[in-house]
């Protein structure tokens, strides 16, 4: 049988509709596939960002919220001097450390460096600023610390006699001298007596307040002192036999050390701390009068005296300097030679590069 023209037309129409529907279905499937691929890409990007954020969060969570910092001295503000103290006083350092999850800085003042190093070794402190001699002695004895900065390299020791007592350093032959054993003043004293040929003397360990009282009573013939307390003692009529400005190789320096345990928790701490300190120092230099008033308050003295014993020019604006490291090397060699330090070690390996 033959098909009529109308039947042929209806068949062609059905074929056309079928092709049209099929084409639309294929287009829809292609669009859906593209959409799914796009979503997969977005999901991957989102997962990557979430993973990165999680990584940063984990990194931050490894840094303890409380930082334990030790310094030498005691005052009503419970703050050290220098750029570190100024930065803490003005809140500059706190603001910088907050960026890394540190929300509290606990400060502890110590009467001398050996006491501070004991707290650092025991884990009570995370880091601290102190004189170079106790820090060097502790490291030579096996303390797991790293050197992260040398704030100044012009700490002056003074040798002061009792009234109506010795007139010169050589007069100390056979006499009794007090010093804080293990401090930078101890290193200055022993080095000075050696240079002056004084070999017969009795050395007793006393903290500055005890030595000051003993000198007033006449129980000792001389004592070492430093900073504001030394100037006050000299102004009170006690004879100054010598000071370290006459012996540049016997000057002390202030160092900052961190425990290796804390470094394991916050490896970037040396960089973060030094950058915060540098910001504080830059601010300090813009407000010198205010800074000296701050020092006078924590030292319970006048601005004239703090300008004399703690001039801004003595503060280092970088973590390390060639002259500072040379002084540190000389001090270490002396301590080893005099058997005040247990063994020699490399300062280059001790300091954080």
* pTM as predicted: 0.80
Residue 47 counted as domain residue? no
For residues 135 and 263, membership in a common domain is answered with: yes
The pLDDT assigned to 60 comes to: 54
Residue 206 counted as domain residue? yes
Q: CA angle at residue 217 from 214 to 220, to 5 degrees?
A: 50
For residues 121 and 148, membership in a common domain is answered with: yes
The pLDDT assigned to 297 comes to: 96
Residue 284 counted as domain residue? yes
Q: Of 204, 228, 249, which residue is a domain's last? A: 249
Q: Of 249, 274, 292, which residue is a domain's last? A: 249
State the residue range of the domain holding 333: 63-154+253-343
Asked whether the beta carbons of 294 and 85 are under 8 A apart, the reply is yes
Residue 196 counted as domain residue? yes
Residue 39 counted as domain residue? no
For residues 230 and 86, membership in a common domain is answered with: no
Q: What percent of the chain has pLDDT over 90?
A: 81
For residues 287 and 142, membership in a common domain is answered with: yes
Of these ranges, 3-12, 55-64, 254-263, the one predicted with the greatest mean pLDDT is: 254-263
For residues 259 and 203, membership in a common domain is answered with: no
pLDDT tens track for 283-314: 999 999 999 999 999 999 999 999 999 999 99
For residues 170 and 237, membership in a common domain is answered with: yes
pLDDT at 241 > cutoff 90? yes
Categorize the per-residue pLDDT at 61 as very low, low, confident or very high, splitting at 50, 70 and 90. low
Residue 169 counted as domain residue? yes
Categorize the per-residue pLDDT at 226 as very low, low, confident or very high, splitting at 50, 70 and 90. very high
4 versus 85: which is more confidently predicted? 85
CATH code for the domain of 238: 3.40.190.10
The total domain count for the chain is: 2
The pLDDT assigned to 353 comes to: 83
Residue 84 counted as domain residue? yes
124 versus 13: which is more confidently predicted? 124
For residues 59-70, give the mean pLDDT: 86
Residue 349 counted as domain residue? no
352 versus 44: which is more confidently predicted? 352
Mean pLDDT over the full length of the chain:
87
pLDDT tens track for 327-350: 999 999 999 998 999 999 999 999
For residues 197 and 314, membership in a common domain is answered with: no
What whole-number distance in Å separates Cα of residue 291 and Cα of residue 251? Answer: 24
pLDDT tens track for 143-187: 999 999 999 999 999 999 999 999 999 999 999 999 999 899 999
Ramachandran region of residue 229, left (φ > 0), alpha (ψ -120 to 50) or beta?
A: alpha
pLDDT tens track for 86-95: 999 999 999 9
For residues 244 and 258, membership in a common domain is answered with: no
For residues 265 and 242, membership in a common domain is answered with: no
pLDDT at 266 > cutoff 90? yes
pLDDT at 105 > cutoff 70? yes
For residues 329 and 180, membership in a common domain is answered with: no
The pLDDT assigned to 126 comes to: 98
pLDDT at 15 > cutoff 70? no
pLDDT at 10 > cutoff 50? no
For residues 68 and 150, membership in a common domain is answered with: yes
What are the residues facing 222 on neighbouring strands?
A: 161, 177
The pLDDT assigned to 8 comes to: 35
Q: Of 231, 249, 267, which residue is a domain's last? A: 249
For residues 43-72, give the mean pLDDT: 61
For residues 238 and 281, membership in a common domain is answered with: no
pLDDT at 35 > cutoff 80? no
The pLDDT assigned to 19 comes to: 44
pLDDT at 59 > cutoff 80? no
């Amino acid at each position: 049988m033959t098909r009529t023209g109308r039947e042929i037309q209806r068949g062609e129409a059905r074929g056309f509709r079928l092709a049209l529907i099929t084409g639309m279905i294929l287009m829809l499937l292609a669009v859906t596939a593209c959409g799914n691929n796009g979503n997969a890409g977005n999901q991957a990007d989102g997962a990557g960002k979430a993973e990165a954020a999680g990584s940063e969060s984990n990194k931050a969570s490894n840094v303890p919220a409380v930082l334990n910092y030790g310094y030498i001295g005691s005052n009503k503000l419970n703050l050290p001097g220098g750029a570190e103290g100024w930065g803490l006083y003005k809140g500059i350092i706190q603001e910088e450390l907050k960026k890394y999850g540190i929300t509290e800085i606990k400060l502890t003042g110590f009467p001398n460096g050996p006491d501070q190093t004991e707290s650092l070794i025991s884990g009570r402190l995370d880091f601290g600023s102190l004189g170079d001699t106790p820090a060097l002695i502790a490291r030579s004895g096996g303390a797991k610390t790293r050197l992260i900065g040398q704030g100044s390299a012009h700490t002056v020791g003074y040798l002061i006699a009792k009234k109506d007592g010795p007139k010169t350093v050589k007069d100390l032959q056979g006499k009794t001298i007090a010093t804080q054993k293990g401090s930078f003043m101890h290193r200055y004293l022993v080095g000075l007596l050696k240079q002056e040929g004084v070999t017969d003397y009795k050395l007793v360990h006393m903290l500055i307040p005890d030595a000051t009282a003993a000198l007033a009573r006449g129980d000792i013939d001389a004592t070492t002192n430093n900073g504001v307390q030394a100037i006050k003692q000299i102004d009170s009529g006690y004879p100054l036999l010598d000071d370290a400005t006459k012996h540049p190789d016997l000057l002390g320096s202030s160092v900052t050390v961190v425990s290796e345990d804390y470094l394991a928790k916050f490896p970037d701490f040396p960089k973060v701390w030094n950058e915060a300190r540098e910001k504080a120092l830059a601010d300090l230099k813009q407000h010198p009068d205010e800074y000296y008033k701050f020092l006078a308050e924590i030292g319970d003295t006048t601005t004239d005296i703090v300008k004399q014993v703690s001039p801004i020019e003595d503060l280092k604006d970088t973590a390390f300097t060639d002259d500072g490291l040379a002084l540190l090397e000389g001090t270490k060699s002396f301590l080893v030679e005099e058997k005040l330090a247990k063994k020699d070690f490399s300062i280059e390996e001790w300091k954080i590069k």
